[in-house]
Each structure stands twice: as C-alpha cells, then as structure tokens.
C-alpha cells in the first residue's frame, strides 16, 4: 500500500475454520476419505472379511480371482482379499506407536535444546545426529535377533530412532522464532514461559511439524512392512508386508498377489503424506492467499499529460522512457504496476525517481535495465537509448548495454562463493573480452577509484569478509567497470548508515560528473534527491504525478501529493518542549 | 578447517563406540534364548549349560563386552556361531556388494536430482515443473522393496531385460555387473526421488537472489549466470540434502538385497538375525556404522569446502 | 520540572555479548551509559548500526543481560530482576518493536494479540475485549480489525496494533525500538503524530530509538547520542540538534541530507570541509 488508509486492507467475511478449509481442498478430502476407509476396514475386519484369513484351501493355492476367493488365493491357498482386510491392522498400530513415541520425545527434547542453554543443546544435538547416522533397519534386525518378533517393541524402538528428525526440526524452528519480535513482546507483556511456548511458538511452527509427523507415519508404515518382508515378523499375524513376502515366493506363478498388498500400502502411505500437507495448508491462516507485498494499482491515475508539459529535455535525450506500462498477471487478468510513465535523462544529468513503496519506481528502472522479474510484462510504451529504441519483447528482457546498475542491499548483491576480484573481472573478460591480466589491472584501478585503499587485499576477499559500505563501493566499481553511459542506482544508500551514505553519495556524484554519465536515482528520501539530483519525477501508484527541476519541485510543488510528501518530511518540524509535555499523574 | 575435520572425526569414533556398546547389550542380553535356539528345543539343561560355557557366554556380560572390544581393536571380530568363519572375513566378502549398490545409488540420485531439479527450477510453474514435482512425490511414497518387486515383474519377468536375481562381481564382468545392479539401484533411487523437489527449491531460491540480477545487469549471459553462479551456490544445499539421504539409501539397499537375492550385508544381517548368530550381527552393525560415519565425513568435508565461510575458518 | 524524580534512571550500564566463534570471549556492546527518563517525557536514542541503542532498550526491558551498572525504574533497581518480578513489571513497562512484520504473531487474531497482556494479568475476557475495542479507536483502526489476522494489514496498521498492545495495560514507560524505520514517509509521520497524541493524553514516558535524527528530533524532549556503545552526548533536543558539542554528533547531524537543494549544497560543502574524504573500510 502506498499510502495507509485507516480501513483494514481488505474485507473478508468471517474466516472459515481450519476444518472447512481442509474439506474444501480436494486432495485433503480424498486423503481423509481413504484413511477413514482403511481404518474402518481394519476395525471391522472380523465382520467384513469373507473368509478366515488363516484358512487354507489346497485347490486355491496361487489361484486366480474366482467366485470363492474374489482376489484369488495366496501361496498357501488362503483368501487374498480377507488377508488384505486384516492386514491393515498391524500397519495402523505400528504407525500409531511410532508417531506417539516420536512426537513425545522429539518435541520435548527439541524445545529443551532450544531453551535450556548451550550444554543441553550440544548434548542433545550430538545424540540426535548420532541416532540419525544409524540405519534403523540394522538396529531393528538386531532387536529381532535378541527378542524375537515383537512388533510393539520394535516400533517403540523405531519411534526413538526416528525422533531426531522431529527434534532437529522443532529445535531449529523454535530457535528461529524464539527471538522474533512478537515472542519478545509477549515476554515483556508478562506472558508466562509455558504459555509462550504453546501459543507463540508451537502454534506458529506447527505447519512443518505436521508435515514431518506425516512423513514419520509414512516411514513407520514402510519400515514395518519392510521387516515383515524380510521375514522378521510374526508368522501368525496377517500383515501387508508379510503378504508381499509370501507373494514374492510365487512371483512367477501369481504376480498379482504381490501387487495388491503393495498397492494398498502405497495408497495408505500416500494418503498420510497428502493429509499432512493438506492439514498444514488448512491450519496456517492466509497461507492459501499468501502474496508478496502488493504492487497492485487499484485506481490508475492518469497524470502523464501533466508531466509532458514540464518536460525540459526533448526526445533527443540520452534515455527517454515514453508511456511505459509494466504488468503482472493477477489471476486471469493483468494488473499494471507501472502505467504510462514517461521520463528522460540526458548525459551529465541526474534524474531522481521518488515515491513510496509500491509507487512503481523500482519496476520502472528494472524495465529500463531489462531486468524485470520473470512474471512481469512490458505491455506498452517505448524506451530509447541514445536515439535507438530498446527491444522490448513480452517481458522487456534485453541484455543491458551501455547501462549499469547499483543495487540497494550491498551484501545480498555479491555472490557469496566468489572473491570480490573474480566477480569484478568475470564480466569484463566475458563482455569486454579483456584478458585476465588486463581485467585484473582494470579492477585494481576501479577499486582504488571507488576509495578502497587496500585494493590488492580486497581483491582477494570473499563478500562475507567486507563491511556493508565497502561492499557498496565494490558494487559501484562493478557497475562502472562496463564503462556505462547510464548509471541506474536503486536506493543505493538506504541500507547504509548516514555517515557512510554521505560518502557514497559523494562518490556517485564524482563518478557521474567525471564520466559525464546520465544517472537515474531511485529513492524515497528527499534529502538524497536534494543532495544529488538535477531533476525529479515524483511517482505514485505506478504513475508520475509531477516532475521538474529540483529547485522547482522543492520550492513550488504543484501536485497535492508532492506537497503532502514534502510536508511529511520531518525536516524543520518544531522540536518539542518538555514544559508543554502534558500533565501526568 | 583442520580442527573442524578432527572434531567431526572424533565425533564419528565416539559414535562408533557408543553404537557398538548399545548393540552388544541388545544382542547379548538374552543369551539363553540364543543358545537354546542353537542346541535345539529338546536339549537338556546340562547340554545347554555346557554349550553356554563353551561359547563363553556364562561370564558376566560386562566381561564379555570388554573382551569383544579388546579383540575388535586387533581386527578380530570373533567367529560365526553357526559356520565358525571369522566375522571379519565374512563381512569383507559381503561389504563390496552392498557398498557398490549404495555408492551407485548416491551418484545416480545426485545426478538425477541435479538435472531434474535444475530443469524444474528454471521452468518454474510450467508443465514440466509440475510433472517432475508430482512424479517424484508419488514415486517416493512407494515402499522401495515393493517398487523393486514391481520392477522385477515388469523388467525381469514380463520383459526379461535384466536378471531378477544374482550378482556378478565388477572385476569379472563389467556388463554383467551393470545389468545386475540396474534394477536394485533404480528401485532405491526412485524411492528417494523426493529430494529432487528440495533441490529444485534450493535452485529456485538461488535464482531469486539479488546478486543474480546484479550479475545480469553487467551483461553476463544467462547460461553463465546459471552454471557458474546459481548452480555453484546451490551445490552446498544440494550436498547437504543428499547427505540426509545416506541412511535412507542404506536402509533401502539392505531390504532390496532380499528381493534380488544379492549376497550383501542386508541378507547377511537377516540370516544372522533369524538364526541368532550374535558375532555376525555385531560385525554387521559395527561395519555399517563405520561405513556410514565415513560417508558422512566425506559429505561434511565436501560441504565445508563448498562454502567459503567454512573453508576459511 | 527538571528536578523531578526520574521514572527511569540508567546508571553506568554495561552489556556484553558473547563473541561469535570465540570461546568465552565477550564483546562490550554498551559501555558505561547513564541516562534518565522523566515521567511524561520522550528521550530519543540516536546512533548508527553497532551503536548499542537497541541494546539499551532491551536491557531496560530485561531482554539483554546487564553486566555492570544499574537500571532504576521508579526507584527500584530492576537490572537483575527475577522472572516473576519482570512479569509484574509488565504492567508498567512495555515495548513496540521495529519490524512490523515480525512483531505480531501470525497465527493469532488481533483480538488475541491485543488482549493477551490483560488476560495474562487475570482480567476477564469480556473486559479485556472491551478495552481492546476502546484502544482500536484510539490507534485509529476500525473495530472490526479485531477479528482479523496480521497478514491482512499493512506495515503502518501493524505498528498501530503493536502500539495498542503496548498501551492496553496503561504502562508508564514504553520502549519504542526503531518503530518507524520500516515505514513510508507519510505513514511514519502519522504513527509519530499518533504516538505524541497518546503521550499528551496519558502522560506515558517514551524511550525512543532511531537511526534517523529527523525522527528523533521530532519526537524527543531530550536526546542521547550513542557511538560504538558509549554515550557521547545527552542533552535537550534543541541543544543536541542545533548546537552539538561532540564532534560525532556534529558529523551525524551534518551527514544527513536535508530536503532543500540549496541548503543541502552548502551543508555538503561544510561537511566535507569538516570531515574530509572519510573512507570506510
């Protein structure tokens, strides 16, 4: 939102409950129905199974589906259908044991590790890593050797062995949110720790936990079936895994007897995984409608005409942007984030694009640079550079030539795995076809030019080894390394301290004058505009509302929005006098 | 970096010791049951006691454990109770089969996840992206041993392109070895393909980073940006994601050996368990943990080497 | 009025953080800082990144451990108050944080967020909700906001909610940590107006940190300037912003560009004359 309105952003009727959202998700419904059917089938097995699952008929050995045994008979002549119906019981019980054990151990230890200090964290983390490095199947085989086929015991142990997955997740999530502002605000508000853990931490991180629980349940079902398949189960219990093992013996005669239990197992496991995802989506409010900070324009204000009158640089200017429109798909339709924007900059001139967030100023310059995001489309207008129109295909992507870009966040704009020197020289070698030696020499020159004294040393450093101000200098060096005629700077000082900002502004100004570059400066700070710009274009909701020379815009703003913005600036506001501070107590 | 390696190695040794102790306690806790299964149900109490004494199982458990460890340090892991073969020899015979399957699976999974993940990330939101994501998700929901059985039914029984069972040593016959491991490796890899979605996510994250835009602004071609910068940066999460699959792959191989009747560690462990062969089981567990610790160490090093922050400290 | 007993009295405060990577080594983030806040007064804390201004606020709130020195609140030393005592202090000492996106629990409705401090204090739900409705009006949010979740609000609106949460127990001091630095200019002005209006009505004291001298100048009665964990100047707002004695304060003041091209040109020249070609490494 560009300007805050006192009304809430959007009216939504009463929020549907989590259950409702789950039901309205087709995958969620399907998985719930499948799982309910499997559970019902297992509970009702004694009543719905057509035959005794252990009763063998000699003439039904490896039989094809027939009137007596609808899905055929297995290797001992038992009814496959009845065994399928009974077999789900073990799978479900095993999964239940594992998930209960894993949740109890994983969540409690995860919270302890996140909260109870460094020593318990180190010890618990080591144990978790150790458990994760042991293949559970080997341990379960050893347990079978020692104690025989005891499903409950082996699943209990498996629950312990798999709990580190939950531990690691809960620990990492809890650490990531425990210093969030809202958790600290709750602490300051006197909310007791237990309540903070439940209401402010577990509730917020429950999404990934639920998905992980579904994963663990699915793994438990698989591992239980695997044990049975290896012949490490009880002979008397009917299980899907055991059925696969017996079917495997007769795989040449009756391959279908392997297919059925596997299919049922797969459908059950798949449903558990899907349900986990669906529940997560249903629980987290606004997840379905989660959107990036909006760039949308609701009421396009067509004031481009007003600007043209003030345009003092003609169509012969170095860069001219005319009626530029940039759109993003929003559902079926396209929404304009920049609509009919025109401006121009000549060599040796600095144009400031000012506006608040969502005004379209960054989108406009990315269109000029040909660096719009994948989803964006240039749906109208023309950009000419030195008289020649830039190729604006659907996305406005073109290889930027003769122009360079200085970004906002210095740190995130350097590739962390390459040295400063490599990042500076690679484009020079690739685009300007310089040799390694030439590129290196040029990079050294540039580094000293942007005020880095120990250029030899900095050349070898990785981005994490330099400060923010230094990183911004490196980026400026990179920008001018391509000998641009147009320099586009997107909020180049916003992330910097004010004293560093002064230095960077001086540097940009010097470089611009020295090389007689045209410069486009995007900023929200009128102080920066006053400092460095010759002309200004004030943007709002994707359009230019007013433009002109800096002196004119600051001294005699015409458009009410410009006036409001300048008034909102605190410069020259009256200071407060404590004696008028109001009565107290 | 060197202290990091030493710390990881020390931690690995500690893990091997801890697992050995716990396994020993599990396997040897109920020796009466084991001895009874060896001498038969009808043996007299005297026979039972005699056999127990012969096997040295009448000594205190702690004493047995100390002896076992003392011998193990000299490379002597005891002898099988059933065949009297030295355990170390049995394991050395079996390990290469399991190990070759595990290594092949890791390599194939690494390649497939990188290729499909990159493809899906570059075509974000497209049809190919969706097919890759849903397809890998479905394959991962299938139990691996069942997947292996289905592969056997289709590619060994219906269309006999690959052998349904058996193993050919790599030294003897390269092509024979390749056809023998194809189906098992395929089953293991398919069962772990979910990692592709995560690799896709890591690459997509990297594609959206600010420095990518800045590099493009200097005129670097998209191909170079993708291969030199995006993939290089995504390599670290890729290695880390793969390292989390090591245990899953090992487990898959152990189970799948049964499907293809491969004489590896898995079938050895299963047979030892059903027949109560304590020393062999101990050997299997210790060997498994040593191998896994070693593989983890390699992955850790690779990861640290890929990250300049870790490499330089 | 100046000899009035201060509400908050920070004496010689030192805070250490464990150094990253190094074992048992500590970095001193705040080094012997003394300031005080009187009832109904706003004290602005200004400084660049690493100055320790946020740490000072956090130490007052008990969120950062105090290594040396004292924090007196209403005559009581709370620098090492127990967790239980801290919970009692919640009625008098509140906070609003910088990040409007992280400062509200995304899984709780605005009603639950705003009423939580009262509910914790054992006040009935009905009464707490009634109070919340009054506050929504006071921070100029529509009363139907209470049913919504934070993701439906803009940054400025979230800060209003955060202010309502801080106000609901009628505290005597609110620590405002960079509360407008993430907001647009016009939104920023409105939030500051709201805050000053509330202060006029309730007489609450504010400890207000910001990196922006313009903001500090507009809201504060007195200003403390911090540089690398040390207090370099603490005086009346007019004295600090018009006639600073400390060179760092002068630099801070002159480095910040003003929205007036002509004056900025002069200031720039003056700045370079006084602080020639400083290059940061």
Residue pLDDT, tens place only, A258-273: 888 999 999 999 899 8
Q: Residue C105 pLDDT more than 80?
A: yes
Average pLDDT over residues B223-235: 92
Determine what percent of chain A is predicted with pLDDT higher than 90. Answer: 48
Predicted confidence band at B274 (pLDDT cuts at 50, 70, 90)?
confident
Average pLDDT over residues A501-528: 92
Pick C95's closest partner by Cβ from A188, A286, A571. Answer: A188
Shortest CA distance from A294: residue in chain C: C154
Average pLDDT over residues B150-177: 86
Average pLDDT over residues C240-258: 90
Return the exposure string of C187-196: e unless at least 16 CB atoms fall within 10 Å of the residue's CB, then b: bbbbbbebbb
Q: Residue B115 pLDDT more than 60?
A: yes
Q: Are C13 and C69 in contact (CB under 8 A)?
A: yes
What is d(CA A19, CA A463) in angstroms, rounded to the nearest whole number?
48
Q: Residue A291 pLDDT more than 80?
A: no
Q: Residue A286 pLDDT more than 70?
A: no
Using alpha carbons only, give the angle A289, A292, A297 rounded to the nearest 5 degrees.
95
- For chain A, which chains pass the contact test of at least 3 CB pairs under 8 Å? B, C
Q: Residue A531 pLDDT more than 50?
A: yes
Chain C residues with beta carbon closer than 8 angstroms to that of A467 = 280-281
What is d(CA B124, CA B71) in angstroms, rounded to the nearest whole number?
57
What is d(CA A324, CA A380) in angstroms, rounded to the nearest whole number?
6
Predicted confidence band at A149 (pLDDT cuts at 50, 70, 90)?
confident
**Distances in whole angstroms, Cα of residue C197 to Cα of each of A454, C185, C194:** 52, 18, 5
Average pLDDT over residues C148-166: 90
Predicted confidence band at A579 (pLDDT cuts at 50, 70, 90)?
low
| pLDDT score, position A77 | 85
Shortest CA distance from A18: residue in chain C: C107
| pLDDT score, position A95 | 94
At residue C76, φ and ψ (nearest 5 deg) are: -105, 135
What is d(CA A310, CA A286) in angstroms, rounded to the nearest whole number?
45
| pLDDT score, position B45 | 80
Average pLDDT over residues B85-108: 94
Predicted confidence band at A237 (pLDDT cuts at 50, 70, 90)?
confident
Structure tokens, A153: 């015991």
Tell me the pLDDT of chain B averaged across its residues. 88
Tell me the residues of chain B between 201 and 260 that have a Cβ less than 8 Å away from chain A.
Answer: 209-211, 213-221, 224, 228-229, 232-233, 247, 250-251, 254-255, 258-259
Average pLDDT over residues C182-204: 90
A180 against A581, higher pLDDT? A180
- Give SS3 for A129: helix
CA distance to partner chain B, nearest, from residue A400 (Å): 6
Q: Does B60 touch chain A (CB under 8 A)?
A: no
| pLDDT score, position A92 | 94
| pLDDT score, position A1 | 32
CA B249 to chain centre: 4
Average pLDDT over residues A77-96: 91
CA distance to partner chain B, nearest, from residue A396 (Å): 13
Minimal CA–CA distance to C75: which of C13, C172, C5? C5
Predicted confidence band at B234 (pLDDT cuts at 50, 70, 90)?
very high
Pick A571's closest partner by Cβ from C116, C201, C214. Answer: C214
pLDDT tens-digit series, residues A171-224: 999 998 888 889 999 999 989 988 999 889 998 888 889 989 999 999 999 999
Q: Are C197 and C230 in contact (CB under 8 A)?
A: no
CA distance to partner chain B, nearest, from residue A222 (Å): 6
pLDDT tens-digit series, residues B193-213: 989 999 999 999 999 899 998
Structure tokens, A49: 């199974």
Query: Which residues, other chains included, contact A433 with Cβ-Cβ below 8 Å and sequence gap of 6+?
Result: none
Give first-to-last CA distance, chain A, whole Å: 39
**Most confident segment among A22-36, A55-69, C222-236:** C222-236
Q: Chain A interface, mutation test: which of C85, C107, C157, C173, most A Cβ atoms within 10 Å?
A: C107
| pLDDT score, position C23 | 59
Chain A residues with beta carbon closer than 8 angstroms to that of C251 = 499
Q: Are A486 and A345 in contact (CB under 8 A)?
A: yes
Q: Are C86 and C143 in contact (CB under 8 A)?
A: no
Chain A residues with beta carbon closer than 8 angstroms to that of B188 = none
Q: Residue A307 pLDDT more than 70?
A: no
Q: Residue A583 pLDDT more than 70?
A: no
Q: Which ipTM score applies to this complex?
A: 0.89
- Longest pairwise C-alpha distance within chain B: 87
Predicted confidence band at B40 (pLDDT cuts at 50, 70, 90)?
confident
Query: Which residues, other chains included, contact A580 with Cβ-Cβ below 8 Å and sequence gap of 6+?
Result: none
Q: Residue B69 pLDDT more than 60?
A: yes
Q: Residue A581 pLDDT more than 50?
A: no
A145 contacts B27? CB cut-off 8 A:
yes
| pLDDT score, position A398 | 56
Tokens 């983390």, residue located: A125
**Distances in whole angstroms, Cα of residue A555 to Cα of each of A313, A397, A558:** 20, 38, 10
Average pLDDT over residues C254-277: 88
Shortest CA distance from A564: residue in chain C: C186
Q: Residue A487 pLDDT more than 90?
A: yes
B247 contacts A248? CB cut-off 8 A:
no
Tell me the pLDDT of chain A averaged across its residues. 84
C185 against A353, higher pLDDT? A353
The DSSP H or E segment spanning B310 is helix B308-311
Q: Does B30 touch chain A (CB under 8 A)?
A: yes
Average pLDDT over residues A243-249: 88
Query: Which residues, other chains included, contact A514 with Cβ-Cβ below 8 Å and sequence gap of 6+?
Result: none
Q: Which DSSP category does B133 fall into?
A: H
Query: Which residues, other chains included, contact C162 with Cβ-Cβ below 8 Å and sequence gap of 6+?
Result: A185, C96, C97, C100, C103, C104, C179
Which is it for strands A388-389 and A543-549: parallel, antiparallel or unpaired?
unpaired
Tokens 């433009």, residue located: A547
Predicted confidence band at C277 (pLDDT cuts at 50, 70, 90)?
low
| pLDDT score, position B5 | 83
Shortest CA distance from B222: residue in chain A: A399
Tokens 């789950």, residue located: A22
| pLDDT score, position C116 | 93
Shortest CA distance from B260: residue in chain A: A248
What is d(CA B211, CA C154) in angstroms, rounded to the nearest whole number?
28
Q: Chain A interface, mutation test: which of B221, B241, B273, B303, most A Cβ atoms within 10 Å?
A: B273
| pLDDT score, position A401 | 67
Structure tokens, C140: 């100029």
Positive or negative, the CA dihedral A236, A237, A241, A243 is positive
- Give SS3 for A576: coil
C74 against A27, higher pLDDT? C74
């Amino acid at each position: 939102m560009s300007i805050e309105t006192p009304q809430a952003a959007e009216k939504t009727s009463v929020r549907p409950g989590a259950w409702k959202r789950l039901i309205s998700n087709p995958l969620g419904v399907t998985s719930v129905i499948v799982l309910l059917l499997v559970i019902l089938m297992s509970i009702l097995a004694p009543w719905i199974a057509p035959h005794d699952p252990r009763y063998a008929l000699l003439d039904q050995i490896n039989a094809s589906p027939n009137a007596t045994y609808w899905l055929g008979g297995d290797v001992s002549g038992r009814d496959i259908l009845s065994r399928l119906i009974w077999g789900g019981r073990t799978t479900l019980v095993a999964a239940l044991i594992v998930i209960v054990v894993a949740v109890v151990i994983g969540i409690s230890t995860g919270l302890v590790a996140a909260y109870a200090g460094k020593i318990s964290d180190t010890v618990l983390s080591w144990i978790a890593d150790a458990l994760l490095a042991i293949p559970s199947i080997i341990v379960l085989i050893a347990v079978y050797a020692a104690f025989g086929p005891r499903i409950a015991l082996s699943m209990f142990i498996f629950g312990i062995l798999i709990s580190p997955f939950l531990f690691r997740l809960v620990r990492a999530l809890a650490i990531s949110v425990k210093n969030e502002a809202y958790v600290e605000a709750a602490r300051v508000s006197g909310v007791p720790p237990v309540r903070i853990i439940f209401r402010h931490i577990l509730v917020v991180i429950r999404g990934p936990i639920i998905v992980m629980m579904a994963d663990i349940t699915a793994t438990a079902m698989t591992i239980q079936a695997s044990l049975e398949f290896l012949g490490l189960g009880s002979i008397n219990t009917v299980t899907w895994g055991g059925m696969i093992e017996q079917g495997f013996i007769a795989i040449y005669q009756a391959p279908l007897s392997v297919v059925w239990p596997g299919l049922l197992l797969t459908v059950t496991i798949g449903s558990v995984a899907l349900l986990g995802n669906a529940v997560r989506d249903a629980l987290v409010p606004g997840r379905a409608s989660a959107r990036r900070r909006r760039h949308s324009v609701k009421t396009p204000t067509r004031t481009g005409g007003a600007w043209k009158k003030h345009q003092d640089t003609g169509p012969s200017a170095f860069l001219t942007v005319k009626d530029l429109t940039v759109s993003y798909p929003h559902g079926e339709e396209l929404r304009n984030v920049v609509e009919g924007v025109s401006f121009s900059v000549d060599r040796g001139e600095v144009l400031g694009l000012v506006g608040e967030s969502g005004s379209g100023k960054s989108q406009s310059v990315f269109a000029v640079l040909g660096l719009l995001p994948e989803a964006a489309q240039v749906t109208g207008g023309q950009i000419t550079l030195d008289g020649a129109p830039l190729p604006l295909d659907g996305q406005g992507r073109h290889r930027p030539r003769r122009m360079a870009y200085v970004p906002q966040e210095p740190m995130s704009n350097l590739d962390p795995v390459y040295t400063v020197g490599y990042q500076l020289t690679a484009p020079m070698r690739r685009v300007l076809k310089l040799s390694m030696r030439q590129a290196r020499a040029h990079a050294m020159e540039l580094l000293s030019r942007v005020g880095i004294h120990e250029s030899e040393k900095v050349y070898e450093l990785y981005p994490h080894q330099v400060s923010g101000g230094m990183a911004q200098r490196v980026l400026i060096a990179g920008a001018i390394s391509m000998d641009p005629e147009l320099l586009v700077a997107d909020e180049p000082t916003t992330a910097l301290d004010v004293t560093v900002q002064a230095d960077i502004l001086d540097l940009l100004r010097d470089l611009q004058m020295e090389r007689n570059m045209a410069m486009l400066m995007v900023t929200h700070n009128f102080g920066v505009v006053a400092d460095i710009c010759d002309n200004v274009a004030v943007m709002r909701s994707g359009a230019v509302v007013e433009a002109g020379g800096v002196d004119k815009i600051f001294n005699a703003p015409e458009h009410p929005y410009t006036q409001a913005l300048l008034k909102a600036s605190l410069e020259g506001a009256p200071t407060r006098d404590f004696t008028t501070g109001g009565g107290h107590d | 970096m060197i202290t990091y390696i030493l710390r990881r190695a020390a931690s690995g040794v500690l893990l091997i010791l801890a697992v050995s102790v716990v396994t020993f306690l599990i396997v040897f806790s109920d020796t009466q049951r084991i001895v009874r299964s060896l001498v038969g149900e009808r043996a007299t109490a005297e026979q039972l006691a005699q056999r127990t004494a012969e096997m040295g199982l009448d000594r205190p458990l702690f004493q047995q454990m100390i002896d076992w460890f003392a011998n193990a340090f000299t490379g002597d892991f005891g002898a099988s109770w059933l065949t009297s073969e030295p355990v170390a020899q049995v394991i050395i015979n079996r390990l290469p089969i399991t190990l070759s399957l595990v290594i092949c699976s890791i390599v194939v999974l690494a390649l497939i996840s990188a290729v499909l993940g990159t493809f899906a990330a570059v075509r974000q939101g497209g049809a190919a992206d969706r097919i890759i994501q849903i397809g890998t998700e479905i394959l991962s929901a299938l139990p691996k041993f069942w997947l292996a059985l289905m592969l056997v039914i289709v590619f060994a029984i219906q269309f006999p392109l690959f052998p349904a069972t058996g193993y050919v040593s790599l030294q003897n016959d390269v092509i024979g070895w390749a056809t023998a491991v194809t189906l098992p490796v395929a089953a293991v890899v398919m069962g772990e393909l979910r990692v592709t979605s995560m690799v896709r996510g890591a690459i997509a994250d990297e594609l959206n980073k600010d420095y990518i835009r800045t590099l493009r602004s200097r005129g670097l071609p998209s191909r170079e940006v993708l291969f030199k910068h995006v993939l290089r940066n995504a390599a670290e999460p890729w290695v880390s994601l793969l390292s989390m699959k090591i245990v899953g792959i090992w487990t898959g191989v152990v189970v799948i050996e049964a499907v293809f009747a491969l004489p590896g560690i898995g079938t050895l462990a299963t047979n030892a368990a059903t027949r109560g062969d304590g020393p062999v089981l101990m050997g299997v567990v210790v060997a498994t943990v040593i191998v896994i610790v070693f593989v983890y160490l390699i992955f850790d090093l690779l990861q640290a080497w890929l990250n300049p922050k870790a490499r330089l400290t | 009025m100046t000899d009035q007993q201060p509400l908050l009295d920070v004496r010689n405060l030192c805070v250490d953080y464990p150094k990253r990577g190094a074992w048992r080594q500590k970095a001193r983030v705040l080094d012997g800082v003394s300031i005080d806040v009187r009832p109904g007064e706003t004290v602005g804390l200004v400084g660049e990144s690493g100055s320790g201004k946020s740490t000072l606020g956090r130490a007052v709130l008990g969120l950062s451990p105090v290594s040396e020195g004292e924090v007196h609140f209403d005559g009581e030393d709370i620098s090492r108050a127990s967790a239980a005592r801290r919970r009692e202090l919640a009625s008098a000492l509140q906070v609003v944080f910088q990040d409007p996106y992280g400062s509200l629990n995304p899984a709780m409705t605005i009603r639950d967020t705003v009423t939580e401090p009262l509910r914790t204090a054992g006040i009935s739900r009905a009464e707490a909700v009634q109070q919340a409705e009054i506050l929504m009006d006071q921070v100029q949010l529509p009363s139907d906001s209470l049913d919504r979740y934070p993701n439906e609000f803009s940054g400025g609106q979230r800060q209003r909610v955060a202010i309502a949460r801080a106000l609901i127990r009628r505290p005597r001091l609110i620590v405002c940590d960079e509360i407008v630095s993430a907001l647009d200019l016009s939104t920023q002005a409105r939030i500051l107006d709201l805050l000053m209006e509330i202060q006029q009505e309730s007489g609450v004291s504010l400890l207000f940190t910001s990196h922006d001298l313009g903001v500090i100048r507009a809201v504060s009665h007195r200003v403390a300037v911090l540089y690398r964990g040390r207090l370099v100047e603490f005086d009346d707002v007019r004295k600090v912003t018009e006639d600073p004695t400390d060179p760092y304060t002068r630099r801070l003041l002159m480095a910040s560009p003003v929205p007036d091209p002509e004056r900025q040109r002069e200031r720039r020249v003056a700045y370079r004359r006084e602080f020639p070609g400083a290059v940061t490494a």
